[in-house]
Amino acid sequence: MEKKEYKPVRRHAGMPGGPHGARGGGEKAKDLVGIWKKLLGYCRKYLVISVIAILCSAIGTVLMLIGPDKLSELTDTITEGIMPPATSIDMDRVVQIGLTLVVFYVMSYLLSAIQGWIMSTVTQRVSKAMRSDISKKINRLPMWFYNQTTTGDVLSRVTNDVDTIGQSLNHSIGSMVSAIILFVGSLVMMLTTNGWMTLTAAVASLLGFVLMFSIMGKSQKYFTRQQKHLGEINGHIEEIYSGHTVVKAYNGEEEAQKVFDEMNRNLCESGFKAQCLSGLMMPIMGFIGNLGYVAVCVVGGAMALNGKISFGVIVAFMMYVRYFTQPLSQIAQAVQSLQSAGAAGERVFEFLEAEEMEEETEKISALLNVKGDVEFEHVRFGYEDSDATIIHDFSAKAVSGQKVAIVGPTGAGKTTLVNLLMRFHEIQGGEIRIDGTPIHRLTRAAVHSLFCMVLQDTWLFEGTVRENLVYNNERADEEKMKEACRAVGLDHFIRTLPQGYDTVLNDQVNLSQGQKQQLTIARAMIANKPMLILDEATSSVDTRTEQQIQTAMDQLMKDRTSFVIAHRLSTIKNADLILVLKDGDIIESGTHEALLERGGFYAELYNSQFEVAM
Amino acid sequence: MLSTFFLTMEALADLLQPTFMSMIVDRGIRNASVRQILFYGVCMLFIALAGAGCAVMRNGFASRVSQIVGKELRRDMYHNVQLLSMENIDRLRPASIITRITNDVAQIQEFVNGIMRIMVKAPIICVGAIILILVQTPGQAPVIAGILLVVSVLIFGNMRVGYPRFGKVQERLDRLNGVTREFLSSVRVVKAFNAEDGEMEKFDGVSWELARANTSALRTMAVFSPFISLTVNFGVVLLLWISKSAQSAEIGRLMASVNYMTQVLFAVGMISNTLNTAVRAAASSARISEVLCEKPAQRMPAQPLMPEICGDIRFERVSFSYAGAGKEALHDINVHIHPGETVGIIGSTGSGKTTFVNLVPRFYDATKGKLLIDGCDVTQIDTKCLRTAVAVVPQKALLFSGTIKENLRWGREEADDEELCRAAEVACADEFIIKSAQGYDTLLGQGGVNLSGGQKQRLSLARALVRNPKILILDDGTSALDAQTESDVLKGLGGMGGKMTVLLVSQRISTVMRTDRILCLDRGRVQGYGTHDELMDSCTVYREIYDSQIGGGYHGGA
């Protein structure tokens, strides 16, 4: 797949005077044809049924075309009856033509209903396929991608952009096809009726197309901008509402409102330009239609005068001209809607084509009988989006079953180390080995399956307590789950909830931060994997509960290589190996006692937490 | 107004054309006068040109109006949501609010644009054409009436059937938004648990539901819309059928009638096109007005007090329970905190510490009892005034995407660089800020993803300090700091001069021990309130905590 540079959306934290003004003007009209190719690629799966739909609309259109022909026959028949020297109207013929017309109309109704039915199914399937691809993509993107983009912007791509594509495909593909057929069809019908009159109409409409394409070229960039601004607004709102507490606490409403207003104005402006420019197409096409109409009238009138054509022919021709020029404005309308689909598609594909993590099919997908020897060798790392090196030259070795504690001041790179071990980020130098196998030779999933992980940030999703506990672990049985909850001291609390383990956790159930941590620890216990990572897992749990958890944890850590990050040094006193990290380097290592004896950085750190200084 | 004028002109132009056409036929061709044909032809072209000109103007207005409507709607919703309390937001759900502000508004916008373009024009053409038909050939009135009746029944039926379906579509879109949001905010955990497949399944589930809802709604449209043109087509046939007996009918008139009827046909076609968006917009507008009508759960005082807050906090028999939860999170709290005091709050997980401090800046209102700040009932104080005086460092450090400087300025917009630096210094954040590549201009990702937990907390604290608050609430805001840094931070706070009331929630006894007084909570009740020594004597819960951390078996000491 071709790689394109993904342009993350950067926004500003609600402070006025952000560089918003500088934006705009820079976008080029992207490769529309390419985007449409990809969009249509999604429809390929539904090719057969789409062809049926198109056929339906084609046949329906043909029927529409024959309609006026029959109408003119009807008119002629009646006229013959009225005009002297005729005596009476040929009733049989009138009835016959009338019935044919009715049949035609009913059929064209059915066909267009079928076409609409099929198209609505197809477009929704296509949208769904697109959304699925986005969700797959979310999994394949490297972690640093999420450091650069806002949740809301990705959300906007999933909902608004895909929605726009779906809606406009549904609206316009059908009418586009029928318009084109109508156009070509009426051209043919006109040709068979009268060549000169056809030529007149054709010249007029050619003019229209030229104008339409030039407008399209101009307005496309505004459509792109519109979708982009919509994404930005989405990002802003998402962020503000996730941080509602802080926004409120800091009276940030006004600033946020200012930023919002600015974005809102941008969106309004680009929306206006897009719509206004592309909206020009309709009246222009309408005028071209009228021009053709008049021209045909004049030419037709002149010809009728000479007696070259009948009145019926003129009537039919008037209709044809309508049918001939009406698709022009229909096409104009469809093009307008397709333009916004193009802009939305651009954003969707931009996301889908963002650089992915490397392909892993050839890697080892599972490491069996893991003992749990972990070795860091000269690991060097800096985050992908910055130049600073965080870990310079890190080497350490954990033997199977050991409890390794990583301590150090904030920002020393403790969490980073864990991220590297989990392969959330790729190291830039050196190697990390598990049981002698470098982890870059394993698939990420294989690495993840080796570790239970309890993170600083607790994460619970909307679902029952039970679902949260047995997250992605179907084998966990009820008893084991309850046991884990008892171990972390949560069982009692859960049982006081209205529906116990089946209580749905959402915004309305107020779990304290500590309870959330207990829950995630229980989750890790249930997951039961060969190695364990605890990153500040108990920071918000009170110390009494912590002690209780500690016992359970010790049980859990037995025979498991575990990595523990904690600020409360009491929790890691019994570690087999303590690594003291500062600025990405190990400055001391050893057991608790050895380190205390040494009287270095660790000893200082340890003693400071019992200081009562005031 | 202007746009209606242009619209009317445009429609008029469209309407006059068949008349001119019939004149061309009746007068020009009948009288065998090429001059007449040309005359009427030129007239017609002029009118068409004028019509197109009007259309261009009208298009400009329509775009303007629809965009402005959208903009205002978004602004009003956003504004209203800002006014809502936590409870409202919890109930409406952020994911849903987001879809409402963007997607639902877009639906309305499209509809407004459509209606300006077509809906107004179409009825004018329709009505005009029908009147002209009636004037020229009055005999056809019943046919016209019949057609109109059927068409309006169809439109009405379409609305009835489509409305709930489109409502569902938007609802499903909410859900998709919610699931995706959850997914995105937890990519790391999902990966750690190798739960990608499960998440995708969940995603696919909602996405599928959305597709189904959409399909069902659109199918309704697919069946209804063409029905309308079918009806009008029948009308044309009927017209001709009837006119067969009208012996005296001039051919020109007949042709004009048929032509007008086709005009009606087109107009109706346009209406049915817009109907699609109209039904969807109706569903969306219901959702939007739900947000706009949501009354803030907290009532704002009619005449808010704006006292000079100096930080005296008094809880008088305060109880509190979260909406929907049966149990009280706080029960009968009586506490008085003097200005300038530093009060430590300690208690086990879930004992109500966070709830306690959340009442002070009025994130929630007490369900029973009164909370007085400087003697004023907190519900009577202007919220803005209150929150300017109170700064909160929450448990979970919430930062926003933007530069560090911008994040700090949330504290106080007009703070200058020096003030920012000073606050960062006290929070022990200056050190790592300076080390970052761009210093204070370093960009943070959403929620500060590129910082460590401790760094986030320190920034969040610095942000609070920039505010120069009278009341500072640290809700376990130092939990991710190592002991040394924490101690430095607290010393720094102490050095800020005792003008600030500090509420310090912590798990660490060593942290609260240094405070003037300690509030010990357990299961929403006050277990003890006093100095460290007092509590050691009188409060068992406190002593237990102390023993667990410092006393029992843990060496190291004061």
| Dihedral pair phi/psi, residue A477, rounded to 5° | -95, 165
C-beta separation of A165 from A341 below 8 A: yes
Contact flag A139-B188 (C-beta cutoff 8 Å): no
pLDDT of residue B157 exceeding 60, the answer is yes
Q: Are residues B357 and B423 in the same domain?
A: yes
Which chain B residues touch A568 with a CB distance below 8 Å? 508
Task: For residue B358, give Cα distances in angstroms to B472, B501, B505.
Answer: 12, 15, 11
| Residue at a domain's end among B258, B293, B328 | B293
Q: Report the CATH number that the domain containing residue B369 is assigned in CATH.
A: 3.40.50.300
Segment of A40-54, B85-99, B230-244 carrying the highest mean pLDDT = A40-54
Does A303 contact chain B (CB < 8 Å)?
no
Q: What is the mean pLDDT of residues A432-448?
A: 84
Does A495 contact chain B (CB < 8 Å)?
no
Q: In the prediction, which pLDDT does A460 show?
A: 76
Q: Are residues B428 and B364 in the same domain?
A: yes
CB nearest to A249's CB, from B81, B361, B476: B361
Shortest Cα distance from B365 to chain A (angstroms)? 14
* CA nearest to A521, candidates A561, A485, A472: A485
Mean pLDDT of chain A: 77
Compare B473 and A27 and report the one with higher pLDDT.
B473
pLDDT band at B21 (very low <50, low <70, confident <90, very high): low
Residue B304: inside a domain, yes or no?
A: no
Cα(A521)–Cα(A456) distance, rounded to whole angstroms? 11
Segment of A30-39, B30-39, B333-342 carrying the highest mean pLDDT = B333-342
Q: Are residues B323 and B466 in the same domain?
A: yes
Q: Which of B237, B471, B515 to mutate to test the interface with A (most CBs of A within 10 A)?
A: B237
Q: Are residues B269 and B395 in the same domain?
A: no
Does A124 contact chain B (CB < 8 Å)?
yes
Q: In the prediction, which pLDDT does B267 show?
A: 75
How would you classify residue B451: left for phi > 0, otherwise alpha for psi between -120 and 50, otherwise beta?
A: beta
Task: Give the structural domain span for B153.
Answer: 2-172+218-293
Q: In the prediction, which pLDDT does A386 show?
A: 65
| Helices (H), ranges, A355-432 | 414-421
Does A131 contact chain B (CB < 8 Å)?
yes
Q: In the prediction, which pLDDT does A22 show?
A: 33
CB nearest to A409's CB, from B392, B445, B485: B485
Cα(B413)–Cα(A251) distance, rounded to whole angstroms? 10
Which chain B residues touch A451 with a CB distance below 8 Å? 192
Contact flag B233-A67 (C-beta cutoff 8 Å): yes
Which chain A residues touch B251 with a CB distance below 8 Å? 79, 82-83, 311
pLDDT band at B47 (very low <50, low <70, confident <90, very high): confident
Q: Are residues B248 and B335 in the same domain?
A: no
Residue B556: inside a domain, yes or no?
A: no
Q: In the prediction, which pLDDT does A19 show?
A: 35
Smallest CA–CA distance from B441 into chain A, residue: A12
Q: What is the mean pLDDT of residues B185-204?
A: 75
Q: Which of A278, A285, A294, A491 to mutate to test the interface with B (most CBs of B within 10 A)?
A: A294
Does B39 contact chain A (CB < 8 Å)?
no
SS3 A217: helix
Residue B333 pairs with which residues in a beta bridge?
A: B318
Does B517 contact chain A (CB < 8 Å)?
no
Q: Are residues B420 and B272 in the same domain?
A: no
Q: Which domains does chain A have, with CATH numbers?
A: 32-352 (1.20.1560.10), 374-608 (3.40.50.300)
Q: Are residues B20 and B73 in the same domain?
A: yes
* CA nearest to A330, candidates A540, A181, A147, A179: A179
Which chain B residues touch A383 with a CB distance below 8 Å? 450
Contact flag A472-B198 (C-beta cutoff 8 Å): yes
Residue B191: inside a domain, yes or no?
A: no
pLDDT of residue A312 exceeding 70, the answer is no
Does B229 contact chain A (CB < 8 Å)?
yes
Shortest Cα distance from B115 to chain A (angstroms)? 13
Q: Which of A108, A126, A246 to mutate to test the interface with B (most CBs of B within 10 A)?
A: A246
List the 445-464 stretch of B: residues with Cβ below 8 A of A: 445-447, 449-455, 457-458, 463
Q: Where are the beta strands (DSSP E) in B265-337?
A: 313-320, 330-337
pLDDT band at A9 (very low <50, low <70, confident <90, very high): very low
Q: Quote the tokens at residue A149.
A: 């983009």
Residues 6+ apart with CB under 8 A from B84: B92, B294, B296, B297
Mean pLDDT of chain B: 79
Query: Token pair 């310090």 is at which residue?
Result: B504
Which chain A residues touch B458 with a CB distance below 8 Å? 410
Q: Which of B58, B65, B98, B309 to mutate to test the interface with A (most CBs of A within 10 A)?
A: B98
pLDDT band at A8 (very low <50, low <70, confident <90, very high): very low
The C-alpha angle A285, A286, A292, rounded to 5 degrees, equals 90
Q: In the prediction, which pLDDT does B252 show?
A: 63
Q: In the prediction, which pLDDT does B368 show?
A: 86
pLDDT of residue B307 exceeding 80, the answer is no
Cα(A164)–Cα(B103) distance, rounded to whole angstroms? 9
The C-alpha angle A506, A509, A515, rounded to 5 degrees, equals 105
Q: Tell whether the torsion through CA atoms of A99, A105, A106 and A107 is positive or negative.
A: positive
Residues 6+ apart with CB under 8 A from A90: A77, A80, A81
Q: Quote the tokens at residue B171.
A: 């609802």
Q: What is the mean pLDDT of residues B322-344?
A: 82
* A393-426 residue pLDDT tens: 888 888 888 888 888 877 777 878 888 888 888 8
Smallest CA–CA distance from B481 into chain A, residue: A410
Residue B197: inside a domain, yes or no?
A: no
Residue B407: inside a domain, yes or no?
A: yes
Q: Are residues B367 and B248 in the same domain?
A: no
Contact flag B402-A233 (C-beta cutoff 8 Å): no
Smallest CA–CA distance from A174 into chain B, residue: B222
Q: Are residues B340 and B475 in the same domain?
A: yes
Does A366 contact chain B (CB < 8 Å)?
no
pLDDT of residue B484 exceeding 80, the answer is no
List the 186-245 stretch of A: residues with Cβ below 8 A of B: 230, 233-235, 237-239, 241-245
Q: Are residues B272 and B328 in the same domain?
A: no
Residue B49: inside a domain, yes or no?
A: yes
pLDDT band at B558 (very low <50, low <70, confident <90, very high): very low
Provide the 10 A C-beta neighbour count for residue B227. Answer: 18
List the 251-290 stretch of A: residues with Cβ below 8 A of B: 251-253, 255-257, 260-261, 264-265, 267-269, 271-272, 275-276, 279-280, 282-284, 286-287, 290
Q: Are residues B411 and B493 in the same domain?
A: yes
Q: Are residues B128 and B259 in the same domain?
A: yes
CB nearest to B233's CB, from A79, A105, A385: A105
Q: In the prediction, which pLDDT does B30 show?
A: 59
The full 3-state SS of A273-294, as one line of letters, equals: HHHHHHHCHHHHHHHHHHHHHH
**ipTM score of complex:** 0.73
| Helices (H), ranges, B84-195 | 86-92, 94-99, 105-114, 121-136, 141-184, 187-192
Which chain B residues touch A234 with a CB distance below 8 Å? 98, 102
Contact flag B98-A155 (C-beta cutoff 8 Å): yes
pLDDT of residue A469 exceeding 50, the answer is yes
Check residue B457 and report its DSSP letter: H
Q: In the prediction, which pLDDT does A532 show?
A: 86
Please state the length of chain A. 614
* B72-102 residue pLDDT tens: 888 888 888 877 777 777 777 777 888 888 8
Query: Token pair 């207990």 is at which residue?
Result: A518
pLDDT of residue A429 exceeding 60, the answer is yes
For chain B, the domain total comes to 2
Query: Token pair 């407008």 is at which residue?
Result: A215
Contact flag B558-A448 (C-beta cutoff 8 Å): no
Q: In the prediction, which pLDDT does B18 show?
A: 65
Contact flag B276-A136 (C-beta cutoff 8 Å): no
What is the interface size between A and B, counted as CB pairs within 8 Å?
Answer: 558
Residues 6+ apart with CB under 8 A from A280: A215, B56, B59
Which chain A residues touch B451 with a CB distance below 8 Å? 411
pLDDT of residue B557 exceeding 50, the answer is no
* A13-42 residue pLDDT tens: 333 333 333 333 334 445 677 888 888 888
Q: What is the mean pLDDT of residues A227-241?
A: 83
Residue B269: inside a domain, yes or no?
A: yes
List the 357-396 stretch of B: residues with Cβ below 8 A of A: 361, 363, 384, 387-388, 390-392, 394-396
* A504-516 residue pLDDT tens: 876 556 677 778 8
pLDDT band at B497 (very low <50, low <70, confident <90, very high): low
Q: Which of B30, B115, B193 to mutate to test the interface with A (most CBs of A within 10 A)?
A: B193
Q: Report the CATH number that the domain containing residue B237 is assigned in CATH.
A: 1.20.1560.10
CB nearest to A493's CB, from B191, B276, B350: B350
Q: In the prediction, which pLDDT does A612 show?
A: 45
Task: For residue B118, give Cα distances in angstroms to A115, A334, B1, B121, B155.
Answer: 24, 15, 16, 5, 15
Q: What is the mean pLDDT of residues B131-147?
A: 75
List the 53-82 stretch of A: residues with Cβ below 8 A of B: 67, 71, 74-75, 78-79, 81-82
| Residue at a domain's end among B231, B265, B293 | B293
* A517-562 residue pLDDT tens: 888 888 888 887 888 888 877 777 777 777 777 777 777 777 788 8
What share of chain B has pLDDT > 90, as a percent?
Answer: 0
Residue B203: inside a domain, yes or no?
A: no
Contact flag B223-A113 (C-beta cutoff 8 Å): yes
pLDDT band at B25 (very low <50, low <70, confident <90, very high): low
Q: Which of A250, A444, A503 to mutate to test the interface with B (most CBs of B within 10 A)?
A: A250
Segment of A137-151, B54-68, B514-528 carrying the highest mean pLDDT = B514-528
